[in-house]
Amino acid sequence: MRFENKSIIVTGAGSGIGRAAATLFAAEGGRVVCADKTDGADATAQAIRDAGGTADSIQMDAGAETDVQRTVQLALDRFGGLDVMFANAGISGGMANIFDTDVALITEVLRVNLIGPYLAIKHAAPRIAERAAQQNRGGAIILTASVAGIRSGAGSPAYSASKAGVINLAKTAAQQLSGANVRVNAICPGLTETGMTKPTFDYAREAGKMDRVGRLNPLRRGAQPEELARVALFLASDDASYVNGQAIAVDGGLSSSHPVTKQEYGRTAV
Looking up residue 28, the CATH number of its domain turns out to be 3.40.50.720
Task: Domain of residue 24: give its range.
Answer: 7-195+224-248
Question: pLDDT for 165-223, tens place per residue?
Answer: 999 999 999 999 999 999 999 999 998 877 676 666 665 667 676 666 667 888 888 88
Cα radius of gyration (the chain): 19
Instruction: Assess if residue 262 is contained within a domain.
Output: no
| 169 located within any domain | yes
Residue 125 has pLDDT above 70, yes or no: yes
265 CB-near residues (< 8 Å, 6+ apart): none
Position 253 in a domain: no
The reported pTM is 0.92
96 falls in which pLDDT band (50, 70, 90)? confident
Which is catalytic among the residues 118, 159, 242, 265?
A: 159
The letter for the amino acid at 136 is N
36: left (phi over 0), alpha (psi -120 to 50) or beta: beta
Number of domains into which the chain is organized: 1
Residue 110 lies in a domain: yes
118 occurs within a structural domain: yes
Instruction: Round to whole Å and give the CA distance between 161 and 157.
Output: 6
Is-catalytic flag, 265?
A: no
> Minimal CA–CA distance to 146: which of 175, 104, 105, 189?
189
- HSE of 121 in the Cβ direction (CA atoms, 13 Å)? 26
Q: What is the pLDDT of residues 11-21, one digit of tens each?
A: 999 999 999 99
Structural domain includes residue 217 = no
> pLDDT: is 139 or 258 the higher one?
139
The average confidence (pLDDT) of the chain is 92
Amino acid at 103: V
- Whether 254 is covered by a domain: the verdict is no
pLDDT above 60 (res 94): yes
Q: Is residue 266 part of a domain?
A: no
pLDDT at 270 over 50: no
